[in-house]
Chains A and B, each alone.
Chain A
Amino acid sequence: MLTAVLLFLPLAAALLLLVVKGAAARALAFGASLLEFVVAAYVTFDFTRHGSTAYNLDYRWIASAGINFHIGLDGLSLLMVLLTTFLVPLILLSAFKRDYDNPSTFYALVLFMQTGLLGVFVSLDAFLFYFFWEVALIPIYLLAGAWGGERRVAVTLKFFLYTVVGSLLMLAGFVYLYLQTGPAAGSLAQHSSELTAFYSLKLSAAEQSWLFWLIFAAFAVKMPIFPFHTWQPDTYTEAPAPATMLLSGIMLKMGIYGTLRWLLPVVPLGVSQWQKPVIILSVIGIIYGAIIAIRQRDVKRLIAYSSLSHVGLMAAGVFSLTQIGLQGAVVQMLAHGVNVVGMFFIADAIERRTGTRYIPDLGGLTRRTPILSVCFLIMLLSTVALPLTGGFVGEFLLLAGVYEYNAWVGAVAGLTIIFSAVYLLRMFQRVMLGPDSSFSETITDLTGGELLVLVPLIVLVFWIGLFPNTFLHISEPAVTNILALVGR
């Protein structure tokens, strides 16, 4: 039952927010998301002691088509749930800083999206998964489109079309798989869209070869993998900061998660056939994103391209199909979620104070903002993968996985660390250090409210960096299970 509570608590709060306005809305939104985190933390605690069986729920959903409302948790889902429920309260807190029009609708959309995201992570039925996959898209589209920057309309339309086209291809793949279950020419009620039914399908290598791309299209767009990424920097830049955090911190992980849960074990032969091209694309993405990031002069755009570069490494790690690579991807999903949310939060904090994100306009902020600089530096170094931080653990494991797949590819992928040090430290130098700008006298340091967002993120950065086993233990059985299904 707790899984259902987890799933629908944010939705209930979102519905309440349609009637609750003003200051009460703020309290309600934050309270609900905090409560949600407490529930998730309890589930994690309980899960590590008792295992997952208590968290399975299976009801008939559309009896006439053999589709079930089947949700459940394993270690991998649990970590994603934990990440989502941890980040959403912080993202809401950061939204409180800004005066958005119609704020309660804004919070309602964030919470609505949380239900969509959690649904993606706990669904064990293909259509339920697809359902939540799309449900998560609608609020983020409205968030980015209605509260975004000047070019929001064109940018969000592009984002929406890209992702929906990807999703439709995935749906087509799922429908094909679904019709392969059960009798050959039976009515819809005799088929099944259960994850386990998909896992036990016996498909020919030729079928799996094209099914791979149908299903992978949606995940590749969401991550995004080069060359499906062109929506990403624009959308990250134009969306309001909280929406960008949702996109980069959590939504991006839907792609990796989907690959792990719905792609690798379902079409293992297709995966081994396309493993190499996908890894090469991912590595191209790493280099490409990093090189473009070096040239950026907009803080948000720089972080966007940096995120593109980092997600390429995660994809490469996943497709290395090694235990260590997959484990690395899991940890890095957490670490990257924390890092990127922190980075975007700080970028937003600077923009709120100075009114600009343009790097050449900034400079010499450190003197009057020591706390901000320290926080910025910690987030940044974790993104660069400095040892002791979360980023290091993730990237190390990922690189080890890719290296195990192929030493040369591993070496090229490793450039990501060098590159990200180049562009991130350069940005830090030009924004926070360097010659004084017109803002360096007037800028104020972080407020207590802002620290409330950053401190939990920083704690987690070090937690993942110092005690990665907390998380690795939870995901290990799930990852082993997935690899066993792939046949490795």
Chain B
Amino acid sequence: MTSIILLSVFGILNLFLGFLRSNKVLLPGAMLLLLAVFGANYADWNVAHAPYFNNMLVVDNYTVAFTGIVLLTTILLLPFSRSYVVSGEPNLAEYYALLLFSLVGAIMMIGYDHLIMLFVGIEILSISMYVLAGSNKRDSRSNEAALKYFLMGAFATGILLFGIALLYGATGTFALSQLGAAVANPANASLQPMLYIGILMMIIGIGFKVSAAPFHFWTPDVYEGTPTFFTAFMSTVVKTAGFAAFLKLLAVALPAAQGFWMPTIQAMCALTLLLGNVGAAAQTNTKRMLAYSSVSHAGYLLIGLVASKGMLTGDAASGIFFYSLAYSIATVAAFGVLKLVAEHRQDDSYAGLNGLGKTNPLLAFVMTVAMLSLAGIPLTGGFFGKFFLLAAAVGQGYIGLVVFAVIMSMVGLYYYLRPIIAMYMQPAPEGATPVPVDGIQTVTMVVLALLTIALGVVPGFMSGIL
């Protein structure tokens, strides 16, 4: 709770700092504020809190853990904003403020205990993202991305809201725990059609936010058009918050309706894995590849939802947490490197990474670690992320789904290796100069790589905490 208050206050504070219009103040300022929020969030670990706002929001370890991921991701992402958000830009402070506000939305999505709170959280996060997607005003692709994201997002919001309304109609409550009891109550059997349509619509709404197939079609275009910095934010924070919300919804409110949503989620999962991986394999643009890859990772996380079987703790929930963490860190690293390189070389295709191993060994190394992690190769967090999720799913008997996921991750290897091939096995373009990287970015890069490797070598410190 402290984190929400702090973020809101800091967001406004940031707007006031905006008159300086200088990145020298705003960037370190935002980072310090976020570190303070991270600390405040950490202080809530293992502390029993009274529920807030008439049980609309709970701060438990689940909330703290996922909030930790989104905060950490944002902190590690901020240093890459530097060259994008140029000093002297009139709206400089607004970008940082929007990021902080959007985090408030993300935390509300994670900590909600009431469907209205979920809706408000999703909207706070989404509206910030619509604006940020279009923040590169002079680029028509960015405008297109923002418009597309907004229109699609608005539809999805409508559908989600409709779903919430139907759920309310069927059960007479918005509160998650009461919902759970009402859904389980056999007396409500006559309301089941309404309930099921409601559940379906909510799945569609959230599925859209986390870009799970078949609601993923906006992802590549929006990711490509959005300035890379915000794309990274979108594919990590929005997805983590979305899955935390998704798991909570299924596990707390709807475990009794498992017979209905389980096949739906399984089908979505298989479809997402297929379309994400096959789509990514067909790309020649690194950013679009990462967009499709983010779809495919939604597929792996959906396996976690299947394996959770309506439990908020245990192997599957821990697996989702670990996977989100590993995925977020690797994705920030990948987008961070891509942003620096693509900006310098004016090329975000695979060829734009050619010979990076020669000109910028550090960037190439970090990108390699990120790609290996996303591909799930040992020594990186991504391996144990996949391992925990798949082992949990096998433990629950979903062998078929796991086999399919393993086959799909073999496809994944193909496209995650392509940046590595470009960086180390292709010559640098004529007259290529090293990509400029400043001190704080270098430090962040090293931290990202070390975190990924730490998660892959000693995963024990983060696994099984839920």
Q: Do A and B bind each other?
A: yes
For the complex, give the distance between the alpha carbons of A152 and B314 in Å.
45
- Smallest Cβ-Cβ distance to B462: which chain A residue: A64
B429 at the interface (CB under 8 A from A): no
Chain B interface secondary structure, helix, strand, loop or mixed? helix
A160 at the interface (CB under 8 A from B): yes
**Per-residue contact bits, chain A 175-195, to B (CB 8 Å; 1 contact, 0 not):** 110110000010111000000
Tell whether A175 pairs with B391 under 8 Å between CB atoms, given A145-B425, A168-B409: yes
Tell whether A176 pairs with B394 under 8 Å between CB atoms, given A62-B384, A64-B318, A160-B417: yes
Tell whether A62 pairs with B392 under 8 Å between CB atoms, given A142-B424, A164-B377: no
A65 at the interface (CB under 8 A from B): yes
For the complex, give the distance between the alpha carbons of A340 and B395 in Å.
44
**Interchain CB contact (< 8 A) of B460 among A61, A161, A164:** A61
Tell whether A62 pairs with B463 under 8 Å between CB atoms, given A130-B378, A168-B410, A185-B395: yes
For the complex, give the distance between the alpha carbons of A78 and B425 in Å.
36
- Smallest Cβ-Cβ distance to B465: which chain A residue: A64
B278 at the interface (CB under 8 A from A): no
Q: Give the residues in chain A near B394, CB-CB below 8 Å.
A: 175-176, 179
Q: Give the residues in chain B near A179, CB-CB below 8 Å.
A: 391, 394-395
Are B395 and A64 in contact (CB-based, < 8 A)?
Answer: no
B200 at the interface (CB under 8 A from A): no
**Interchain CB contact (< 8 A) of B357 among A63, A146, A152, A187:** A146
**A-side interface residues, number (CB < 8 Å):** 38
Tell whether A168 pairs with B406 under 8 Å between CB atoms, given A134-B377, A134-B379: yes
**Interchain CB contact (< 8 A) of B379 among A131, A161, A178:** A131
Q: Give the residues in chain A near B409, CB-CB below 8 Å.
A: 168
- Smallest Cβ-Cβ distance to A178: which chain B residue: B391
**Per-residue contact bits, chain B 374-410, to A (CB 8 Å; 1 contact, 0 not):** 0001110001100110111011000000110010011
B262 at the interface (CB under 8 A from A): no
Are A63 and B413 in contact (CB-based, < 8 A)?
Answer: no
Within the complex, what minimum Cβ distance (angstroms) separates B58 from chain A? 24
Q: Which of A92-148 touch B at CB < 8 Å? A: 101-102, 105, 127, 130-131, 133-135, 137-138, 142, 145-146
Are B391 and A188 in contact (CB-based, < 8 A)?
Answer: yes
B45 at the interface (CB under 8 A from A): no
Q: Give the residues in chain B near A185, CB-CB below 8 Å.
A: 395
Within the complex, what minimum Cβ distance (angstroms) separates A86 from chain B? 26
B458 at the interface (CB under 8 A from A): yes
- Smallest Cβ-Cβ distance to B384: which chain A residue: A62
B464 at the interface (CB under 8 A from A): yes
Q: Give the residues in chain A near B426, CB-CB below 8 Å.
A: 153
For the complex, give the distance between the alpha carbons of A298 and B160 in Å.
66
For the complex, give the distance between the alpha carbons of A131 and B376 in Å.
11
Within the complex, what minimum Cβ distance (angstroms) separates B164 from chain A? 33
**Interchain CB contact (< 8 A) of A135 among B357, B378, B392, B413:** B378
Tell whether A64 pairs with B463 under 8 Å between CB atoms, given A145-B421, A175-B394: yes
Q: Give the residues in chain B near A133, CB-CB below 8 Å.
A: 378
- Smallest Cβ-Cβ distance to A63: which chain B residue: B460
For the complex, give the distance between the alpha carbons of A137 and B379 in Å.
11
Are B378 and A63 in contact (CB-based, < 8 A)?
Answer: no
For the complex, give the distance between the alpha carbons of A165 and B384 in Å.
17
Tell whether A157 pairs with B421 under 8 Å between CB atoms, given A64-B318, A138-B377: yes
A352 at the interface (CB under 8 A from B): no
Q: Give the residues in chain B near A65, CB-CB below 8 Å.
A: 387-388, 391, 463-464
B103 at the interface (CB under 8 A from A): no
Are A145 and B424 in contact (CB-based, < 8 A)?
Answer: yes
Residues of A within 8 A of B (CB): 60-65, 101-102, 105, 127, 130-131, 133-135, 137-138, 142, 145-146, 152-153, 156-157, 160-161, 164-165, 168, 172, 175-176, 178-179, 185, 187-189
Residues of B within 8 A of A (CB): 314-315, 318, 357-358, 361, 372, 377-379, 383-384, 387-388, 390-392, 394-395, 402-403, 406, 409-410, 413-414, 417, 420-421, 424-426, 458-460, 463-465
A-B CB proximity, top 5 nearest = A64-B464, A134-B378, A146-B424, A131-B378, A62-B460
8 sampled A-B residue pairs with Cβ under 8 A: A65-B391, A153-B425, A153-B426, A157-B414, A172-B402, A172-B403, A175-B390, A175-B394
Given A65-B388, A131-B383, list of 12 further CB < 8 A pairs? A60-B460, A61-B460, A62-B464, A63-B464, A64-B463, A101-B358, A135-B379, A146-B424, A146-B425, A160-B417, A161-B414, A175-B390
